[in-house]
Structure 1
């Protein structure tokens, strides 16, 4: 009589096979820091890694599975989504298989796979939270909020998060409070296309320095606007959209296309790629009196 199959052994063997298969498309990235991180061979000749781990733009090298050190060139980096793209000569290195991260649900088992000292490094965990689109602290739009309950090796940051079928569903990064997040594949695809085409991600540009402000109660000669909060204009780029439209230092921005503005971060979220060239109606307080202004947004300069 055959011995019954031990499901734990079967699971363990399956996980090891997934790591080995995925690891053939994961590289170690040497971006100028004291330690290496990881990168994903997204498609032929293109490596995706975490933008925050790159401490330099030139002289970035990668170690392929097996130990060969290869030079790369930086195609572009986007701090707002934590995605950077490197180019290299693949010489037969396989690209990873990807899947839509929207299929993930809390409780799904996942593996983080990186490359350390020319070999794979792995962590096992589960999907803790799945949510809709969100904005990073730097204003980037991430298609899905995916928090993962696992311990991420520093060497695996920028590496792959894979599902139980071995498909890459995102890039493993460290978020606020060093919690592990996944940048989903749909976000990576969008950013990679822009970085390969132009070297940076298009973002809207107002041309004004802002700081938050909470206004007091309206007096007899002013009218309440928005919800009593706003952002104060503290500087103006002399050659920017705000200056051309007539925005002034000291103006208080209360609404943006009729949407109340509470924080500077609200404005950052509204300056996404789709905002370039669009006209915005601002409702302001200027000299204690309400006024309106229309501004045509530009494209944020690289410098």
Structure 2
């Protein structure tokens, strides 16, 4: 009989003897321990001797790369050389242009043997001609090109050029399997010191208070993330990719234990889209959502401040077809609770075009489940969008009729007017402060309802341009000399 079995039987005997035999058991157990002694076996491996992340790091780190970006930009020797007023009178004599190289550094993750790399858009974005270089953990370096980039989600997909199609990769995990408290590792190149690994836990899920897009949510972690980690990997204890590190909350510029990562389920959409040569489309809901506030919750009789209120529903849109009505409160999508409007859009986006989802709503205090078919937004017609140019205040603006899909995308109400989609840099419209989402409602004394109306009014030269612009809940009146 082995000494371990003898010790085990002694413990079992202790439980059977009860309180009455406790003193006798103590004497017997003491004697048995004396017989066994205090000798212990040598741990068979380092992993048994001490808990170590090294097996996970060996698996994941080779697929995490450094992303070097160089841009050629034009600069002038004089601080006034870029001022249009001074250049109008003094020309180039006031400052000679010169070329300068700007360099930046970030991280990325290889997700396919062919060399598809995921990083952040802000790592590679910038003015001027851009050169991207990828440095692997094994010191190999390659040029890379941009396949796709999205400013709203901050996701960029690169492709390594002239590779051998045998690159180390990280497998994307289902980020919905994460739970608060799970251990994670952040791998990247902070401050350019070289590849670094930090550990932490998942501090929170579905953080939506930050970011630029209404379909963005983030994984929050206390694993140290610093400048240069952007685009790097957040991996779980199986060595799979659960997120792309993207930003930190810090007052000092260094890690303070609050870092954010883009969930892998959103990253997966862009990887698949880039591989198939298509742009990722966000499903069109055909409804405007507003995050539930405390006042809304009290007015609607909700037992908690969470969810998204349907503020309006477009006729013949997917929301209307599913049975959603204004006043419904969306509380879950396919069983996943949603805390606000952004969380709803995120869930719909990650389900993808063509999917059917079950939307849980509270209607007049009663829970209901509706089925929603996800479709792409209808494309604007040829006469719906214009790039404006000419001697008028809106030179350089791209404008559109306010279609339901456009209203959804920009978070505005359908109604009269023409909306600004984008503004070209250094254009007249940009200098006057026009922004995407601005709605042109009047030019001169004439109300503007369509793009055609706007073009007609702009075609007539004015000694003084009068433009009424609605931005949010306010209307601004702009006066510009003709």
Question: What TM bracket, shorter-length normalisation?
Answer: 0.5 to 0.7
Using a 3 Å threshold, how does the CA distance of structure 1 residues 255 and 97 change in structure 2: closer, same or farther? closer
Deviation at 1:17?
A: 2.3
In structure 2, runs of 5+ residues without a counterpart are 1-38, 71-101, 285-298, 300-310, 315-324, 328-340, 354-374, 380-402, 408-412, 425-482
Using a 3 Å threshold, how does the CA distance of structure 1 residues 5 and 107 change in structure 2: closer, same or farther? farther
Contact 2:147 2:157 survives alignment (8 Å): yes
| Equivalent residue number for residue 277 of structure 1 | 378
CA distance in structure 2 between the aligned counterparts of 1:59 and 1:4, rounded to whole angstroms: 54
The alignment's TM-score, normalised by the length of structure 1, stands at 0.63
Contact 1:80 1:136 survives alignment (8 Å): no
Deviation at 1:203?
A: 6.1
Deviation at 1:55?
A: 3.4
| Equivalent residue number for residue 43 of structure 1 | 112
Deviation per CA, 1:241-293: give whole Å up to 9, x if none. xxxxxxxxxxxxx9563759xxxxx89x98x885621863999xxxxxxx985
Partner-residue secondary structure (3-state), 1:58: strand
Partner-residue secondary structure (3-state), 1:165: coil
| Equivalent residue number for residue 68 of structure 2 | 30
Choose which of 126, 138, 163 in structure 1 pairs with 2:212: 138
1:166 aligned onto 2:239: yes
Contact 2:184 2:201 survives alignment (8 Å): yes
Give the greater-gyration-radius structure (CA): 2
CA distance in structure 1 between the aligned counterparts of 2:110 and 2:57, rounded to whole angstroms: 15
Kindly indicate which of the two structures has a greater share of residues assigned to helix: 2
CA distance in structure 2 between the aligned counterparts of 1:8 and 1:125, rounded to whole angstroms: 21
Using a 3 Å threshold, how does the CA distance of structure 1 residues 8 and 64 change in structure 2: closer, same or farther? closer
In structure 1, runs of 5+ residues without a counterpart are 206-226, 228-253, 261-265, 284-290
CA distance in structure 2 between the aligned counterparts of 1:199 and 1:174, rounded to whole angstroms: 27
CA distance in structure 1 between the aligned counterparts of 2:225 and 2:231, rounded to whole angstroms: 10
Q: What is the correspondence of 1:75-224 to structure 2 with a 5 Å cutoff?
A: 75-89=147-161, 90-91=163-164, 92-115=166-189, 120-131=195-206, 134=208, 137-142=211-216, 145-174=218-247, 179-197=258-276, 200-202=279-281
Partner-residue secondary structure (3-state), 1:141: coil
Q: Larger relative CO (CA 8 A, sep 6+): 1 or 2?
A: 1
CA distance in structure 2 between the aligned counterparts of 1:119 and 1:292, rounded to whole angstroms: 51
How many residue pairs match? The answer is 239
Using a 3 Å threshold, how does the CA distance of structure 1 residues 81 and 10 change in structure 2: closer, same or farther? farther
Give the aligned CA root-mean-square deviation in angstroms.
4.4
Partner-residue secondary structure (3-state), 1:52: helix
Contact 1:77 1:195 survives alignment (8 Å): no
The alignment's TM-score, normalised by the length of structure 2, stands at 0.41
Deviation at 1:185?
A: 1.3
CA distance in structure 1 between the aligned counterparts of 2:261 and 2:46, rounded to whole angstroms: 27
Contact 2:111 2:169 survives alignment (8 Å): yes
Q: Point out the more displaced range, 49-58 or 60-69.
A: 49-58
